[in-house]
Each structure stands twice: as C-alpha cells, then as structure tokens.
Chain A
Amino acid sequence: MLASKDNNTQAEEVYEPNTARPADSVYKVDQLNLWYGQDQALKNIELEIPEQQVTAIIGPSGCGKSTFIKTLNRLTEMIPSVKTTGGIYYRNQDIFDKKYKVELLRTKVGMVFQNPNPFPKSIYENIVYGPKIHGIKDKKVLDEIVESSLKGAALWDEVKDDLKKNAFGLSGGQQQRLCIARCLAVEPDVLLMDEPTSALDPISTLKIEELVQDLKKNYSIIIVTHNMQQAGRISDNTAFFLNGEVVEYDRTDKIFSSPDDKRTEDYISGRFG
C-alpha cells in the first residue's frame, strides 16, 4: 500500500504532460478495496488517471486489472456478491454516492469489452442503440451519428454500403471496431477498454492500436492489456497490477526502461506472468 502511494506521488512530480496544457485527472481512485464474497480482488488501489492520454493497466491473469476497470463504470455491480470500500472520483464526483446516477456515469464513460459483443442487429441499429436510449429520435441526426461514429472508429469505408446488414457478418476485428464506434456514438468522455485486442489477429490488433492513438486526441483512454508490447507501444502511463495491488504506476517509458520495483522489472522482462 505504501509503495503504491509513493509511486503515485512520484508519478505526479515527475510527470510532464505531452499536451500543451497541464493534464487534469479524469479519475481519482482513493483506497479502493473490492471483494468477491470473501475473496479480496482489489487492495487499497490509489491511482490518478490523466485526461486525454492512454493509461495502460498490465499484470498477470487474475491480478484484478479487469475487475478494476469494471469498477470505474460500476459494472462490477452486476455481480451480486461484490462489495467495495473506498472512493472513486470521476471528475471530482464520487461515483459511489447514492445520489450519483450510474446511468449518467456510464454515458460519460464508454466501455469496449474483451470479446466483440455487437447486438444481433444491423450495423446501423448497433450504432444508434446508445443515442436512442438517450432519447435521440430524429432520423437525420441518427444518420449523422452513424457516419461520424463509424468514421471515428475507422470502419466507415469498409461498411458504408452494408449498414443494414447484420453485424455478425463482420470479421472479429471489424466487430470490435463497431463496438468502439457504438461507444463513440454516445459521445463519452472516457473510454474503458478491457483487453480489446486479445481475441483478434495481429492485423486487426494493429488497426485498433492505431485507432487508440487517434482517439486519445478527444478521449481519455484506459486500456487493460496482458500484452506488454502493446502497453509499451500505445500508452502514456502504465500501472502494473499484481495480486490486486498496484505495484507501480508511472509514465510508460519509465516503467519499461527503469522500473522502481523489482517485481515490475521481473514481469516486464518476462521472468513471470
């Protein structure tokens, strides 16, 4: 716990944003603990996540990285046995506050899942799902959203003539970009990505990675990955999770070149995990 706290403050001091203005944080995580029944999955997590950057979360299987990213939009609440303590502040609002609406949080914070999960509907219907649940009915507006979202997810040129076709006809990589487009259609502030490329082939993976680089101009992105090269390629900051704790959190180049913690070094160099 102390180690992670130290690293955290250190990260703030050393940190020099690569954008012109100083980075505000979108998320502040304070002493977060999470249990599945009796098993503690997250222990005293303390993190600050800067805006308009890519923050990667790495760590071996079962270290709590997927659980952590799902607490950021309170999706862990779908599992009845989950208990949490501590606080998560999204833009200085306590997301666990009784008065804070979870639907609002999830509108501002989009999520892309490990396996592409388009709805069994047409490509068009998939994209307009979000806007429709938020009350947009104007066909013209919806058409524009579909085009801009698909362009934003670098899928427009591939599917613009097939918008009425079922989304299941797309390849795995296209389906995942469709899921990203579906998120963008809600105009979120943050994008959570839970191992978005682990079910994809290398070429599709490359496309998603390029897309992430593109998206960070407008969105703050938090990406869970078990692919360390990927974290190195695309992220600005990296948090290394182990057994439910944050071992080290720093700028990605620092983590990959001279990590402070021996365990981080061992993991990065492939000695375990």
Chain B
Amino acid sequence: MKAARQETTITTEERLQEPANLSVREWKNKIFKGIFTAAAGFSLLMLIVLILRIFTQGIGYLDWNLITSFASRNPSDAGILAAFVGTIWLMAVTAPISFILGVGTAIYLEEYANKNRFTSLIQTNISNLAGVPSVVFGLLGLTLFVRELAMGRSIIAGALTMSLLILPIIVVASQEAIRSVPTNLKEASYAMGATNWQTIYRVVLPAALPGILTGNILALSRAIGETAPLIMIGALTYIAFLPENLLSQFTVMPIQIFNWTSRPQEEFHLVAAAGIIVLLAMLLLMNSIAVWIRNKFQRRF
C-alpha cells in the first residue's frame, strides 16, 4: 500500500482533504474559549454588582459634608474627615518607609548578595511573609512598636506595622522588575569600569523603575484597605480631631466604615456605603497613577 502510494502522484483532491480530527479540535477550542470567557465575565459581573449596590445605597449621603465633617451620633451629620485624613497620614508615612526598605532589600538581594544559603533563607522568608495573615502583623506591631518601643497607638506605629505587612509584596515586585533589566545592559556598564552602585543607579534603576513603582503603588492600595492590623495595634474607632504629628492617635477609613456598618441604625449603613465610595475612589486614583507611571516610563529593550 505504502509503496503503491509513493509511486502514484498525489491528486489535488487528496491535497485539499482536511485532517480527520479537525472538527473535534475546533469544537474543543470553542469549549475552552467559552469556559475562560465565563470565568472572566463572572468576576467582572460581581464587581459591577458590588459597585451598583454601593452606589445606590451611598449616593444619597455622598456630598462635600461627608468629607468635611467628623463622625457623629447623627447619621445625617456623620462625616469621614478624621478617617480620611488619618488614611492620608498613614499612607504618607508608610509609602517612604516601605519604599526605602523594600527596594533596598530587593537591590541587595538581586545586585549585591552572593547566592548562598543566607540569601536563600532571606528569600524564602520573604515569600512566606507574604502569606502571613495581616492580624499576625498587627500582633507584631502591638508588641514591638506600641509596647516595646513605646510608640503608643500612634500613626508611626501604625505606619511601621503597615510597612511590615506590605514589605514582602514590594520586595518581590521590585526584585522581578530588577531581574527583568537585560543582563547585556549591565554588562555594558560594568565593561566600561562602572562600579556596582553606578550601574544600579544609572542603568538598573531607570530601567526597573516603572515596575518598582507599579509594585509599590499596588502594595499601598492593599494597605489602604487593611483594617485588622490597625485594630490590633489599637487605632481608634471614633475620634473628633485630626492627627497633628507622627505620635497622634488616629483612625482610618476602613475602620470607620466597619464601625458604621456594625451600628443598628439603617442610616449608618448608607453612610458606610458613601464612605466606601470615597475609599474606592481613592483606590482607583492610586491604581490609575500606577498605570500612568507604567505607561509613561515604559521602555522597550
């Protein structure tokens, strides 16, 4: 049969014949496409439902008053000012601390450290820390910062705790960004007699900066919504003053929102929804900045 086939020339019809299982393959392709589309659609649908619900509930209480007033026993007077300012304070202190510690660690691990048991121990620890529940970080903050270092229930204690919480995310994201800088650029720099630091400062960091900043902002976005560790270190739930310095007591938006939703009065739930809108807007703003930075500094290699 084979021999015969080799001798005869192949007809045009044979050339055009489609493989036997082609229709099955196409069918499978369609099924998997359907599954993946449904998966993506489901999470999008949930997000839309959440946003719709929050907006229909909270839009009535969403006005300038909400941001300019302190919390109150009266739902119509209640505002989120103290928590809003507290969140901004907390973020403003957390951001530089976690940036310096996180990016510093990443640079050390990627560019300076020898690959040995010690560094692989650090690496494993960092990966594990990313999975530790935030309440545990709260406990750590309570023992170490609030009590041991006697910082009290202050912004600085909260910010340090928050920095510890998001540090693993920042380190891992920054490491990824630093690692993605092409080796041949680093080689070019070293081959001209540049020191380690000159190469890091002039070649590695500029190229890795978009990735590093994106990672940092996304980590901060996580921190902005965290409640548990701050409750652990004793952030207040009801204050009618603004924090004045790093040692002031404070509250943040998620705590205020949680406080409102746990009240029996229906109106407070609506105020909470309005508070959530403010929190979401802030998150959205931060994420937009992350995307903007990524696009602005994106470099091709």
A residues whose Cβ falls under 8 Å from a Cβ of B: 73, 75, 78, 80, 103-107, 110-111, 113, 115, 117-120, 129-130, 133-134, 168, 179, 182-183, 186
Interface pair A73/B191, CB less than 8 Å apart: yes
Q: Which of B272-301 contact A (CB under 8 A)?
A: 299-301
**Inside 8 A of A78's CB, which chain B residues have their CB?**
183, 186-187, 190
Which of B185, B194, B203, B300 is most buried by chain A, counting CB atoms within 10 A of its CB? B194
- Chain A residues with Cβ below 8 Å from B191 are 73, 75, 106, 110-111, 113, 183
Q: Tell me if B189 and A129 are in contact (CB < 8 A).
A: yes
CB-defined contacts of B193 to chain A, threshold 8 Å = 103-107, 130, 133-134, 186
Pairs A–B under 8 Å by Cβ, sample size 14: A75-B187, A78-B187, A78-B190, A103-B193, A117-B184, A120-B300, A120-B301, A129-B189, A130-B193, A133-B189, A133-B198, A134-B193, A182-B188, A186-B193
How many chain B residues sit at the interface, stated as a range, is: 20 to 34
Set of chain A residues within 8 Å of B301, measured between Cβ atoms:
120
Cβ of B72 within 8 Å of any chain A Cβ, yes or no, is no
Residues in A whose Cβ lies below 8 Å from that of B195: 103, 133
Pair B190/A129 contact, Cβ less than 8 Å: no
Docked Cα-Cα span, A73 to B189, in Å, equals 13
CB–CB B192/A183 < 8 A: yes
The reply to whether B300 and A117 contact each other, CB–CB distance below 8 Å, is no
Q: How many pairs of A and B residues are in contact by the CB < 8 Å rule?
A: 68
Shortest Cβ gap from A180 to chain B (Å): 12
Known A-B contacts A120-B207, A133-B198, A168-B300; the reply to A186 vs B192 at CB < 8 A is yes
Q: How many whole Å from B118's CB to the nearest CB in chain A?
A: 14
B180 interfacial contact with A, CB 8 Å = no
By the criterion CB–CB under 8 Å, are B300 and A129 in contact? no
* Chain B residues within 8 Å of A117, by CB: 182, 184-185, 187-188
Q: Which of B105-127 contact A (CB under 8 A)?
A: 114-115
| Residue pair A119, B187 in contact (C-beta under 8 Å) | no
* CA–CA, A129 and B192, complex, Å: 9
State whether B192 touches A119 (Cβ < 8 A): no
Q: Which residues of B sit under 8 angstroms from A179, Cβ to Cβ? A: 188
A119 to B186, CA, bound (A): 9
The reply to whether A106 and B187 form a contact with Cβ atoms under 8 Å apart is no
Residue of B nearest to A183 (CB): B192
Closest A-chain residue to B198, C-beta based?
A133
Residue in chain B with minimal CB distance to A115: B184
- A186 nearest in chain B by CB position: B192
* Complex-state Cα separation, A168 to B198, whole angstroms: 22
B114 touches A110 (CB 8 A): no
Taking a contact as CB atoms closer than 8 A, the residue among A105, A107, A113, A168 that contacts B188 in the complex is A113
* Cβ A182 vs Cβ B192 within 8 A: yes
Q: How far is the CA of A136 from the CA of B206 in the complex (A)?
A: 21
B134 to nearest A CB, angstroms? 36
Tell me the minimal C-beta distance from B120 to chain A in angstroms: 12
Is A75 touching B198 in the complex (CB atoms < 8 A)? no
Q: Does B147 contact A (CB under 8 A)?
A: no
Task: Tell me if B184 and A106 are in contact (CB < 8 A).
Answer: no
**Chain A residues whose C-beta falls within 8 Å of the C-beta of B206 in the assembled complex:** 120
Is B202 in the interface zone, CB < 8 Å from A? yes
- Chain A's closest residue to B199 (CB) is A133
Report the bound CA distance from A124 to B192 in whole Å.
Answer: 16
Q: A106-B192, A110-B192, A120-B300 are in contact. List 14 more A-B contacts (CB 8 A).
A: A75-B187, A75-B190, A78-B183, A78-B187, A103-B194, A106-B193, A106-B194, A113-B188, A129-B189, A129-B202, A133-B193, A133-B194, A168-B300, A182-B188
